[in-house]
Structure 1
């Protein structure tokens, strides 16, 4: 998770005093990097995935499952057994926000050959088996996006209670500070977001109105005036960063061959983000209730929204410089490539002094406004030992701002003095239950980047429409019910789109709505005659023209089959499957409440599916191979 500096964290007031220093030197660090590597070409494709995991403990006797606050201990053991013993170990482990979470990545990035696609699932399986091997009895490693009873009484092991009154990081009514990773970055982020905002974060998620759900659904918080003011009728109220950053996701990072290719991919993939997010929907439950959304994005956006009342437009500007339209965790606000410029139809708030400085240093308008927009934000954490840096050889101040702008896509300059190239990070996916599913989504996205570059595809539409798609993607059953703006003719640009920006596309005055239309995800993914060719058919066409060994081809086709059937509705999303599971549980009273025992049954079933101890055709179809490989330490046959 972002920049993990070590040292003595400063309070918000101390950090605020150094904010201009961080921004000023962050820009100098970016300029040093840019001028050193702006003309770098011919970097090979390298890429990797990041999977976030939750540690759970099953109490089979009492039919409860809880989050285990042992992430730091597990992480230390895994690193000691792995990378510290062997620098070429095939897996890497890193901390995540929750003390019940860890993050796993491949030990080395994957390369550009097609055969690499056939190693992704094996590496994910290795990660699951490796981490499971160091767990205690009845504990398991789960890839679930949102723990259904996160924030409910007794949701942690050991059980700790939140302390909303005395000094703490979150002062949450529901989420104890002990559930936050002990690395000082995480609690400092939590505390400083709250202090900068001037109040606790506010998350209101619409509740799913079932037959017996109270209408209106109203929670009361007599012990907390702030919560009483912030909570809304017919919504599930949450009040801490942990409700967002304590969820799990699946991400992919690519190295491009040049800065222009990275900018092109950044733009094209930005339009795909809401589509893939809806396809990967896996988080319908929050704080023990059934919600009316299927994705975590809006929850996590609100959980780190550090904007003051002035910045949110609730009070006149007095102490702040800008009105800021979005949380620092949201969809992108501007395209970076020349062909994207005419579709930049969102008002962009920028630091004008930084923008002018970048232009004077030879940075083009599009990249300059992108960076100047990121740098309207304050640093949220700062370590005393990291205030004064060598701007020519370090990038901590730049990364401080960059890594706390959590957007759907991230444009990543190379670290200073490294052999790493220009990269883009694809960030909207929800983590899936199985290694097979997670591999399928990763392979789909990586393969799509190859096709975008090979066929010079153009998915660009006005960015305001991408924002509308992001809202639509989070709704319940968006895969089946939602309609999404998408470009009709994705081959229109022609020419060398990477170099020229958009080849022979229409000139910038032709921002006509006929370029795009509303489509279902089934049409976008699988195609519809006379409307759109479909991404899967295009990927299949690409594969037919590539030399691919039989095993790899079979694996890729299996992955694409899963994506195809999720898009058509033949297979359920994880979110839909979870809803059906709870709805059919014998204890469910059609009141939108998820009890301890219902939660236990659900997570136990998820764990059995993940470890291939049972089949789940409605979720996985026939493409999934059932192979028992001992990936659980829980007595899951109970």
Structure 2
């Protein structure tokens, strides 16, 4: 009993472990029954035990092994060994070999007792270590509290708490953690309490200003800059015999287990769905201009998957990089190890909305999101602020037998795939890249020049043709996420209302930030956000912020924070000079296509950054590497040449709409600036000298040259000599030849070539490949419905692409 009580005390240190216990214990027992103790005679042949002794030993092994897997601590293996051997000897075991010295049964019993005592000492020591480890793990998870889908902040410092651009928010600072994490005992604030919400916002503004004042003059040498990527994976459980596939609801516990192993290269972070994980490198990449290091990302990403697959295969889980969880919202779409939850879901079958407290969804299951209260709080806050649950409508792919007329419980709006939960959007996976900048103005300049590229990379990376088990008439995830977190009230969605907010809080960027001469006010030609005059006064007091930067920050605060808890409003519990939690709540829940990111704290060694956020995750690691490398090279051209990609925001928004269309990467034309270089002198660039305000001494982009044309993506890449459009590749190749030896340039060519061949249609997008799998599947009934066997075959096919080189080349279109 003391041993059992000690184990439970250790387990319950972490408040989030009850669900973790159920998941791991049930799964482990299944593995033991399946693989280790199929035939108890095997144990009997090795040691002479009677049936009751075998059963007792089995129970001891199961209990101890369960504890080991639950705690996931390597040094406890010695505890297990001491326990098993001690138990065997204590039960008068007769081994089938001779000892070197005479040993009678009583001596064996004494040895067994001594080993059991050693076991107890090991157990006490190890559980103390585990107590500390679990406490640390709990703090890390809490410190890394995600601010929704878009908060993928990256670490760049050399210290452990700032090691990677990709996971900076894991360890912003201890004060932020104290403020924003332990909300389980605090009530969530009602959005009708406008006075309290406004007070919260003002604290956030003051926190930003403290960061701004401490970092506004920061300068980082080019060679000292860092960049980072982050890749999101979906977890699937596959049964080949029954041809069924489910999402694996084990992400949170497996993340903790993996991170406690302290892999030297990979760190896992929680995502919205408990069927998802996000992986980031522990060590940041060097400057994008370090070409050798840039190309290493291909190797690093492949190695990362190998490390993760080895771990997840222990739990018989498939790891996939699909942009949409294709079966989410269909019957029995997720495996549930918790018997109480499984029984409850079964009891509410057909009326899930009655049990789903947070989302009120009729399709997804509350409690299969990540168990951290942040995520359920986001779901509930979005629904409550909106005044109703979210409504996501995606046009269905029209086939011969597609239902376009009859309303059903599953599809109340014929012609559309209807979804009703944040999970449908935040359950999607993406590829995001964050760039550190030399200065504040540099970050603003990169933000603006990369913004026109966001729809182009989105279309080329499209990998989401299926939602809720149905084939969609779109190819990418963006609009689904945008609709899934749209917390605007009915009035705020009404374009005739004074309180109209033109876009969801997950949407395309609505304005430029830089004061560079190429940024014209008339380019911001969409309906702009109405911001608080009082907020602008706070930001511009004593001329602290210029108009464009102040306006950008104020647009973040045009939204309400989601969620907020009572302790976050108690000003005796925090100091705005030390934390950024209130600002980060607003910053991280404005999920824009390009995100401008201040340093995460006053003390941070991380610089000003921008995040490129529109790409769907790719099926293979190589594809992800291609997109990352090409994007980094585009940024290098922006940093070194006098180029101009800017154009009206309305045209960028139109491009994003076109990017969703089926096969947009080859069939759609996109608006683009015709004259992207400043005459023949574009290599003579004054950007760094002017702190990214002026590109050259002579302004040669005249009004007559301010022309925008519609081009295929392949033309945007290669150029179109007939209309005098240069294209980005000629500029990239000039940059490479000017800065690197020939052997290094040759290494880059294969990535550039793959990207171009994708734009020409020789390498299909993931969306195109998956759509063709469905349309040519022998069991597809031309009704746009993805049955369980079809879904199984899609997942199995994609897993094979990851493990079989011949299959991979076939997917690329090389065979």
TM-score when scaled to structure 2? 0.71
State the match for 1:71 in structure 2: 251
| Structure 2 counterpart of 1:56 | 236
Q: 1:116 aligned to 2:293?
A: yes
Match of 2:598 in 1: 413
Do 1:16 and 1:378's aligned partners in 2 also have CA atoms closer than 8 Å?
Answer: no
Residue of structure 2 equivalent to 1:340? 519
Which residue pairs with 1:132 in the alignment?
309
When residues 174 and 543 of structure 1 are mapped into structure 2, their CA distance, relative to the original with a 3 A threshold, is same
Equivalent residue for 1:37?
215
Aligned residues of 1:150 and 1:288 also touching (Cα < 8 A): yes
Cα distance in structure 2, aligned partners of 1:50 and 1:15: 33
Q: Closer, same or farther in 2 for the Cα pair 1:358/1:238, shift >3 Å?
A: same
Q: Deviations over 1:254-306 (max 9, x none)?
A: 10001111101000111100000000000000111111000110000000000
Counterpart Cα distance in 2 of 1:156 and 1:345: 44
Which of 426, 432, 438 is the matching residue for 2:618? 432
Aligned mates of 1:403, 1:68 — CA distance in 2: 27
The alpha-carbon deviation at position 76 of structure 1 amounts to: 0.5
State how far apart, in whole Å, the 1-side matches of 2:805 and 2:763 are: 20
Please say if 1:585 is aligned against 2:777.
yes
- Asked whether the equivalents of residues 642 and 678 of structure 2 are also in contact (C-alpha less than 8 Å), the reply is no
Give the CA deviation at 1:202: 0.4
* Residue of 494, 500, 520 corresponding to 1:323: 500
Give 1:447 deviation, angstroms.
1.5
> 2: distance between equivalents of 1:208 and 1:138?
33
- CA distance in 2 between partners of 1:620 and 1:454 (Å): 33
**Higher mean Cα deviation, 260-269 or 608-617?**
608-617
Looking at structure 1, the residues matched to 750 and 807 of structure 2 have their Cα atoms a distance apart, in angstroms, of: 16
1:268-417 pair list within 5 angstroms: 268-313=449-494, 322-338=499-515, 339-342=518-521, 343-349=523-529, 350-361=531-542, 362-387=544-569, 388=571, 389-415=574-600, 416-417=602-603
Are positions 1:256 and 2:437 aligned together? yes
Specify whether residues 91 and 436 from structure 1 end up closer, same or farther in structure 2 by C-alpha distance, changes over 3 A only.
same
Relative to structure 1, the CA distance from residue 119 to residue 133 in structure 2 (aligned partners, 3 Å threshold; closer, same or farther) is: same
Residue 115 of structure 2 corresponds to none
Looking at both structures, which has the greater relative contact order when contacts are Cα pairs under 8 Å and sequence separation is at least 6? 1
Cα offset, 1:455, TM superposition: 1.0
Tell me which protein shows more helix as a share of its residues: 2
Change (3 A) 1:366 1:314: closer
Number of residue-to-residue matches in the alignment: 603
The equivalent residue for 2:807 is: 615
Query: Residue 456 of structure 1 corresponds to which residue in structure 2?
Result: 642
SS in 1 for 2:540: helix
Partner SS, residue 722 of structure 2: coil
- DSSP-derived class of the 1:335 partner: coil
Structure 1 unaligned runs (5+)?
84-88, 222-226, 625-638
Partner Cα distance (2:469, 2:564) in 1: 35
> Considering only CA atoms, is the larger Rg found in Structure 1 or Structure 2?
2
- 2:519 alignment partner, SS class: helix
**Equivalent residue for 2:358, pick from 149, 163, 169:** 169
**How far apart are 1:360 and its partner, in Å?**
2.1
Query: CA separation in 2, counterparts of 1:315 and 1:491?
Result: 41
The Cα shift of 1:357 comes to 2.2
CA deviation digits over 1:569-595, x for unaligned, max 9?
A: 121111111111111111111111111
1:484 matches 2:664 = no
Q: CA deviation at 1:12?
A: 5.0
Q: Distance in 2 between matches of 1:592 and 1:214?
A: 9
Matches within 5 A, 1:147-162: 147-158=325-336, 160=342, 161=345
2:285, 2:293 within 8 Å by CA — same for their partners in 1? yes
- Sort the Cα spacing of 1:314 and 1:263 in 2 relative to 1 into closer, same or farther, 3 A: closer
- More displaced 10-residue stretch of structure 1: 160-169 or 45-54: 160-169
TM-superposed deviation, 1:327: 0.3
CA distance in 2, matches of 1:615, 1:540: 32
Shift of 1:134: 2.1
Residue 571 of structure 1 contacts residue 621 of structure 1 at CA under 8 Å; is this kept in 2? Answer: yes
Q: 1:364/1:396 Cα in 2 relative to 1: closer, same or farther (>3 Å)?
A: same
Query: Measured at CA, do residues 505 and 279 of structure 1 come closer, stay the same or move farther in structure 2, by a change above 3 Å?
Result: farther
**Is 1:265 matched up with 2:454?**
no
Q: Secondary structure at the match of 2:564?
A: coil
Asked whether the 8 Å contact 1:573–1:619 carries over to 2, the reply is no
Shift of 1:133: 1.9
> What displacement does 1:79 show?
0.7
Give the conservation status (yes or no) of the 8 Å contact 2:187–2:566.
Answer: no
Alignment partners' CA distance in 2, 1:246 and 1:168? 18
The structure-2 alpha-carbon separation of the partners of 1:618 and 1:463, relative to structure 1 and needing over 3 Å to count, comes to farther
Q: Does 1:99 align with 2:292?
A: no
> CA separation in 2, counterparts of 1:107 and 1:219?
50
TM-score normalised by L of structure 1 = 0.90
